[in-house]
A and B are shown apart, each in its own frame.
Chain A
Amino acid sequence: MKKTHIFALIIIAIAAGIILSTAGDASTYVDFTQAEELALNGDNGSIHVVGKLKKDSHGQIMGMQYQPEVDPNYFAFTLQDNNNREQTVIYQSPKPQDFDKSEQVVVIGRMEKDHFAAEKILLKCPSKYENGKLETTEFKAAKL
């Protein structure tokens, strides 16, 4: 076998290894019920759950708990997944600054016994291209 062929084979092997490893590391989007099943089956990999924050009539997020004077690294809230299942999420870090304005949230982490332990929270804020724009304009229009 020629050296170039061996070389090509090695490259292909490494590339295949990369693809397999990427597939292995890739996380998935699931709901809380699936997350629970995964945890019960002993799968400890991190998963993504997309959910909504429940708000009361004043626009306040319900079930949110953060007391920095007691512990700045403990933040808990309730998240409702796409199947409307509600679940307590515990995030052992300070509450993200713009959390209150968020509506949709992606939590990354895994299911524990009675809660979802989030390692990371991705926030989806109302984009300036959608709501913000109209609000500002209307406000300005009203001033005329």
Chain B
Amino acid sequence: MIHTAVGQFGHFFVILSFVSALVATFAYFRAGLTTTAPDELSAWRRFARVTFYVHAAAVLGVVFCLYWIIGNNYFEYHYAWDNSSISLPTEFVISSFWQDQEGSFLLWIFWNVVLGLVLIVTNRSWEAPVMTVFALVQAFLASMILGVVIPGLDLKIGSTPFLLLRESMPNLPVWKMNPDFIPEDGNGLNPLLQNYWMVIHPPTLFLGFASTLIPFSFAIAGLWLRKTSDWIRPALPWALFSALVLGVGILMGAYWAYETLNFGGYWNWDPVENTSFVPWLVLIAAIHTMIIGRKNATALKTSFILAIATFILVLYSTFMTRSGILGNASVHSFTDLGLSGQLLLYLLTFTIAAIGLLIYRWKMLPSDEEEVSSYSQEFWIFIGATVLCLSSFQILATTSIPVYNSIAEAFGVVLNLALPADQIAHYNKFQLWFFALIIILTGVGQYFWWKRAGKDKLQVLYIPLMITLIISAAAITIGKINNISYIVLLTASIFAVIANGSILFDIIRGNYRISGGAVTHIGVALMLIGILFSSGYSKVISINNSGLMISRSDEFTANDNKENKENITLWRNRPERMDDYLLTWRDVRIEAREVPGYIPKDWVDIIENDFRAVAMKDIVVDEKRYYEKGDTLEIYPENYYYEIEYREPSGKVFTLFPRVQINPQMGGIISSPDIQSKYNKDLYTYVAMVTNPTAEPQWSPTEEFTVAMKDTFFVNDYVAILDNVVRTDEVEGVALGPNDAAVKAIIRVLDKEQEFIITPSFIIRDRAIGRKPEVSEELGLRIQFNEINPQTGKFTFAVNTTQREFIVMKALEKPFINVLWLGTFVLVIGFVLATIRRFRDFVKMRDKENQKTAAPKTPKLKPQRV
């Protein structure tokens, strides 16, 4: 039966949320206008608030309906069918919710509702103007999932997640036969996204995106109400919160990429990564100017620009990744849902309105009477914010190349511009210097901020500088760093750790609550050091130096670079030397849901098109029996793990299991690395190519050999010797009766360093002849015992050959990557401290103002510090 009701409810809630957002926008707008009569104000505000509550309830309704559909496997709905499946474990059912565009919009809408409610509760005095902006944003976002066609105009607004399959694909012939057809199972979540990071990364990132709306709304409210500097205090804790969450979200994505994708790193300067990083950088710049904005008019003006720019850049990012404009340029943007026009409208509305309002009010903003001194804290913070903006401008300028093409096309010009061929080198060329400068400024800025340095006190900087140079010289010598840009970045980062550390040491004794800035800066410096070593000194250790491979010597010498020889081939069970290690590819393994680790693929028989397998033997791991032979067990059918044994020179052995995923949604086979983490480096291994583990081997045409005992013959380029033919009582898989007989041939096959014994059997059973061939996967051979000729004393064998099983793998060493993760933790702690501090500031101020309005005539007993 088709469950139409839940979808209709869902669709109704979407429409309700859209309409209520529009009404709330208008009501809050009226409540915020100074021209509204004072006695009407509170009525408008109450009405607006109720409308927003209705909106919030509607959004929760939408979320609930979509979950209901996905959680109950209602595959008659397109969204559930396309993104979920029966076999999906609960945590991944949750993430299939936001796999597609509609769900991720919904996630964004949901966070905006949560943030909006928090703002209504915590900040009544700014409610009307701030919530006007919020409600308008909600109206735009809700319109993206509206899925309403305006009759007459044939204009579709939004794409609804509540579409039934028969509505989304009406041309399928199956509807004619059976209009109530429901697929038995869904397409499932893209296996690449079936990872715990993908359960928490998108909500975190979207909370980050959503929260950039708050500083923006306060900036707009400040302009609107002409409270040109008051908006900063309530906005600042939220800006910090947003930077924390967005930063963590981005880093989670980076870590997922490191663990799951095989480009060998955590950051690829992909357009999708860049467009989330750019708003973050601008937000960081905004936070810094906001901190000094109440004292310095230039910084105040800049704060307006940057708070607005952050949100506009988030919208721009949304537009880029969802409109399909990136096209070939990015691997992981969404496909176009036909929302480009709507997205552009959303982007342009807020851009034009915000910039218009800013220009309109510009004259009203205060100006500085005199120039700021180069020895003041404001000066250094301002320089830092500027460099942050330049850094983000550079990233944006390059990432937008596909946009230039589209704009030019709109004017009839064909640009044909493409992103730089070596993007990583292109970005690093700039960003390394920008960040070296930024990280130095964090140290210097902190010295000026805490008044440790000043016009006549520059000498305080000498001591940290000296310590830095000593440590850095030692590090450069020991680490054999000879690239000038790396030396600069390393020295700059060490300086930042020392300078901020010294400040931290001083203030933490007084009041740890205000140490957020210093802690965050130390975190960033550590991250830069980690990035410098793990990326700059990432070393390929799978250099292909076996003599056989240098067969194309002309090219090898002509190119003069071994860079392209970075992969090695491993044949099954044949040890190969790589760097200091002796590598052996042992087996292919699979992951059973209830069994720890990975079990050999041969232990089970995987049921085709299912997520279960039948145990071929008792499954015993670590002396615990999990399944008996013949049991059915649940597995992850897409994932295969390649057991690669590393033998160190010391004789120590460890095993890595890089993954290969059969991923039809990504068009084939996807490989993911396995990482061995030591305290000072990661060993990163992935298979670049495998023979498809699910494909049946393709056998060559049969070749027959008739040989006598001890004869030698050649199969698949190997020397094979028929050693013996012996009587046997046991043939696997065949029950022998008393009158039956069986013999097996013992054929020795000589490989380069090893010998293999292959024993095909010849069976006479119930007077019929049976032949049991034997397959050697290592050799890619199948030998069948065909005939015994008693007259000549010769034996005939049928031989088929196939591609021997091999993998092509790559291994890298990433030194000091743990410093990056350590820096990340420090950064998070710093942001949390700073957010809490600024929130307390805001609460103190708010309560004071409330007291004032509640009892305006009470004289103050003593002056309070602001």
Contact = CB atoms under 8 A, between A and B. Distances in A.
Asked if A and B are interacting partners, one says yes
Contact of A98 (B172, B544, B666, B688): B666
The SS class assigned to the A binding surface is: mixed
Interface stretch (B419-427, B584-592, B738-746): B419-427
Contacts of B174: 137-138, 141, 144
Contact of B401 (A2, A26, A97, A140): A26
Nearest to B334: A129
Contact of B328 (A124, A140, A141): A124
A28 B415 CA distance: 8
Interface in A1-41: 2-4, 11, 14-15, 18-19, 21-22, 25-30
A84 interface: no
A125 interface: yes
* Chain B interface category by residue count: 35 or more
Contacts of B667: 98, 101-102, 123, 125-126
B169 A133 contact: yes
Interface in A58-106: 68-74, 92-95, 97-98, 100-102, 106
A72 B394 contact: no
Contact of A18 (B169, B390, B418, B568): B390
B82 A133 contact: yes
A79 to B, nearest CB: 15
A73 B568 CA distance: 8
A26 B402 CA distance: 11
Interface in A94-144: 94-95, 97-98, 100-102, 106, 108-109, 119-120, 122-129, 132-134, 136-138, 140-141, 144
Contacts, number: 154
B569 A72 contact: yes
Interface stretch (B181-189, B507-515, B636-644, B756-764): B181-189
A120 B689 contact: no
A69 B671 CA distance: 20
Nearest to B169: A137
* Chain A interface category by residue count: 35 or more
B782 to A, nearest CB: 19
A64 to B, nearest CB: 14
Contacts of A22: 394, 397-398, 401, 420, 426
A48 B423 CA distance: 13
A120 B668 contact: no
Given A22-B397, A26-B420, A48-B418, A144 B181 contact: yes
A83 to B, nearest CB: 14
Interface string B800-818: 0000101010000000000
Interface in B635-693: 664-671, 688-689
Contact of A125 (B181, B416, B668): B668
Given A26-B418, A27-B419, A134-B169, A93 B564 contact: yes
B173 A141 contact: yes
B768 interface: no
A102 B555 CA distance: 27
A26 B427 CA distance: 12
B808 A46 contact: no
B477 interface: no
B418 A11 contact: no
Given A26-B419, A27-B421, A137-B169, A95 B668 contact: no
Contacts of A50: 328
Interface string B67-93: 000000000000000100000000000
Given A48-B418, A69-B569, A71-B549, A25 B689 contact: no
Residue among A18, A46, A70, A127 with the highest chain B CB neighbour number at 10 A: A18
A105 to B, nearest CB: 10
Contact of B183 (A18, A21, A93, A140): A140
Interface in B299-328: 328
B552 interface: yes
Given A72-B808, A137-B183, A15 B544 contact: no
A26 B421 CA distance: 7
B335 A46 contact: no
B419 A144 contact: no
B169 A73 contact: no
Contacts of B165: 137
A15 B181 contact: no
Interface in B332-346: 335
Interface in B166-202: 169, 172-174, 177-178, 181, 183-184, 187
Contacts of B390: 11, 14-15, 18
A135 B418 CA distance: 33
Given A18-B393, A26-B417, A2 B564 contact: no
A18 B430 contact: yes
A125 B551 CA distance: 33
A29 B335 contact: no
A18 B184 contact: no
Contact of A128 (B665, B669, B670, B689): B665
A93 B177 CA distance: 50
Interface string B561-574: 00011111100000
A109 B416 CA distance: 16
Contact of B187 (A74, A136, A138): A136
Nearest to A25: B420
22 contacts: A15-B390, A15-B393, A26-B420, A28-B417, A47-B418, A48-B418, A68-B569, A68-B689, A69-B804, A70-B549, A72-B808, A73-B567, A92-B555, A93-B566, A94-B689, A108-B418, A125-B667, A129-B335, A132-B664, A134-B169, A134-B172, A136-B187
Given A98-B669, A102-B667, A133-B187, 20 more contacts: A4-B298, A18-B397, A22-B394, A22-B401, A26-B401, A26-B417, A26-B419, A71-B552, A72-B567, A73-B566, A95-B689, A100-B668, A119-B421, A123-B667, A128-B187, A133-B169, A134-B172, A136-B187, A138-B172, A141-B172
Closest 6 CB pairs of A and B: A98-B668, A46-B421, A125-B667, A92-B564, A141-B174, A27-B418
